[in-house]
Amino acid sequence: MSLLSIRNLQVHFPVNQGIFSKAHQVVRAVDGVSLDVEPGETLGLVGESGCGKSTLGRAAIRLIAPTAGEIHFDGRDITRLSSGDLRPLRRQFQMIFQDPYGSLNPRMTVEEIIGEALDIHGLAADASARHGRVAELLSDVGLDASHANRYPHEFSGGQRQRIGIARALAVEPKLIVCDEPVSALDVSVQAQIVNLLRDLQDRRGLAYLFIAHDLAVVEHISRRVLVMYLGRVVEGGEAREVCRAPKHPYTQALLSAVPAVDPATKRSRIVLTGDVPSPINPPSGCPFHPRCPVAQARCRTEVPVNRDIGNRRQVACHLV
């Protein structure tokens, strides 16, 4: 059974215009996405800015209220649970944020930051148990127990991200939603955090919903990957397969645009024209058709459904 199972999830935000007006338009940030995360696996979610990947990640653990659709966690429908009913469940799904500078309270020590999570869920019997547990968590993420009394500003970006990971781990979750956890870090430190996340997964059997715009990082860490465009999933499958033989024209362009360090890697570049359209007024038919190099008449009118094409691959394109 899947740990996290999402069916046809929609998240729409109203756009208010003028001073008195009601909401006339909606941003379709997530527009009918289904996905499954198995226990202990990593599902990668890639896409460019504005494609709805972060909104999806937050809605998946009910940090944003979904407009429609269903979210099941560990077999239980959490789509419409009240926040009181949700709180004990929150132990099981945690989140790591992109900005290690903005996501830690600057006035709290590391021990207070991590200990707060323990307190909320009543996981430490007394102060000494709490202290010991914080030290344990710090060493799990490669920090020193003596760091517990310091403040976030005393740490580098990579170390702060480790603190954020320790905080998420404190409540022993089954799933961690990682929203761009390495994109604010220096290249040399990025690899440390990716390796740490993998080690923790091996040791604790964690599942990750790993959101990133960097395809190479996602391919590296994920078993399966979903590619999003304008609030929808356009392609999905085994990470290695999707990156080796992309089927959807958008995935093909996205992959070809990644600059390679090794000059021997020759990629024939597909340069897309135009920008990502607005999710307020998405194009008719296939949302990608205005930028698609192979679009046909049908693509302008008919929305392609996400089809299973075998070998655990799914593609939303008329031409595949």
Partner 1 sequence: MSTDTTPLLAIRDLRLDFVNGDRPLRALDGVSLTVHAGETVCLVGESGSGKSVTALSITRLLPSPPARVVGGSILLQGRDVLQMAPRELRSVRGGIVSYVFQDPSASLNPVIRIGKQILETLELHRPDAANDAEVVQLLKLVGIPAPESRARDYAHQLSGGMQQRVMIAMALASRPKLLVADEPTTALDVTIQAQILDLLRDLKQRTGMAILLITHNLGLVSEIADRVAVMYAGQIVEEAPARELLARPLHPYTRALMDSVPELGRDVTRLKAIAGNVPQLGAWPTGCRFHPRCPKAIAACAQHNPELSLVEPAGSSRLVRCPYWNS
**Interface positions with partner 1 (CB under 8 A):** 48-49, 156, 158-159, 186-192, 194-195, 198, 213-217, 219-220, 240, 243-244, 253-265, 269, 271-273, 275-276
Rounded to an integer, what is the distance from CA 296 to the centroid of its chain?
Answer: 32
Q: Terminal CA-to-CA distance of the chain, rounded, Å?
A: 30
Burial class (CB in 10 A: 0-12, 13-18, 19+), 317: buried
CA distance 125 to 128: 8
Closer Cβ to partner 1, 118 or 292, answer by number: 292
Closer Cβ to partner 1, 68 or 294, answer by number: 294
Q: From the CB of 149, what's the least distance to partner 1, in Å?
A: 20
Please, what is the Cα angle at 309 between 303 and 310, to 5 degrees? 155
Q: From the CB of 278, what's the least distance to partner 1, in Å?
A: 10
Closer Cβ to partner 1, 49 or 128, answer by number: 49
Nearest residue to 160 (alpha-carbon basis) of 138, 188, 175: 138
Closer Cβ to partner 1, 91 or 213, answer by number: 213
Q: From the CB of 124, what's the least distance to partner 1, in Å?
A: 30
Q: From the CB of 305, what's the least distance to partner 1, in Å?
A: 24
Closer Cβ to partner 1, 70 or 101, answer by number: 101
Element housing 296 (H / E): none
Q: From the CB of 268, what's the least distance to partner 1, in Å?
A: 12
Q: From the CB of 117, what's the least distance to partner 1, in Å?
A: 25
Closer Cβ to partner 1, 141 or 243, answer by number: 243
